[in-house]
Amino acid sequence: MPQLHDTARAVAISGAGTGIGQATAVKFGELGWRVAVGGRRVEKLAETRERVEKAGGTCLAHELDVADGGSVDRFFGAAEAEFGAVTAVINNAATARYGPLEDFSPAEIQLEVATKLIGSLFMARRGIQGMRAAGSGGDLLFVTSLAAASPWPWHLPYAAASAGAEHAARTLRLELEGSGIRVSLLRCGETGGTDFATREMESGRMLPADQLWFRRGLLRHTGLLTPDVVASAIVSAVTLPPGAQYELVVQPTAPAGDMPKSFEDWIAAMMRAFLPE
């Protein structure tokens, strides 16, 4: 029977084709775990599988749309057929765009909420069913954002969905008491290298959003997390010895030196820090 202290468990990760999800899959691969990675873009999953196997893990790459309950069931069915009981579920999938709410289409709002909130519930539901059927304990981990706890304009559908996912995690923690299934929550701050942040930069929506967030005090310095750092926090939570669980906030520290006094100063500091000379 798989237990929390087993050294080579099976983990299912959503949104694992890029960014935090891919980095997390590789970290579990380094531990020798069996890793099921899911996402909409199968070509990106193939890259993740290669990296996990190179790191020393075993990997199953399978198409996954977390907003589709049938797709979630198929993903878990394939993972269980390949690896046996899945005893860790990482709810990482997310998508977002920046801008005022009135500029969003109904489909864009629906996609952000369905991916982060409804998808997390579908994944958790199926993970719990599998763990109970196997008679094992396990881990559910929800990845959310600072925007879940602080008013974050021009990021509303994603922020609201993240807040809902946090409430779901805390409610599940009570619901699952005595089951051997623990529920962890990781709220992460500004992170570079995520799929939607890269897309928003290319779209031109990031610069006006950053200007608004700097003016509102939500961006104060140029520190950024990396997907690898967030992945390390996720793995730490899931590999914590039995008897304890995390509710974590991981956020970047401010670089040494003076804080930017204007948005122009902030932009110049970001360019010095992150753009090649």
Q: What is the total residue count of the chain?
A: 277
Distance of CA 13 to the CA centre of its chain: 9
Nearest to 156 by CA among 116, 214, 215: 116
Pick the range with the lowest mean pLDDT from 134-138, 180-184, 201-205. 201-205
Strand, helix or coil for residue 215: helix
Per DSSP, 173 falls in state H
Per DSSP, 185 falls in state E
pLDDT, tens digit, 9 for 90 and up, residues 2-15: 445 556 799 999 99
Confidence of residue 75 (pLDDT cuts 50, 70, 90): very high
Phi, psi of 23 (to 5 degrees): -60, -35
- Hey, what are 20's tokens? 């935090």
Q: According to the model, what pLDDT value does residue 1 have?
A: 37
Q: What is the CA radius of gyration of the chain?
A: 19
266 neighbors 260 (Cβ within 8 angstroms):
yes
Q: According to the model, what pLDDT value does residue 276 have?
A: 59
Map out the domains of the chain with their CATH numbers: 10-194+224-254 (3.40.50.720)
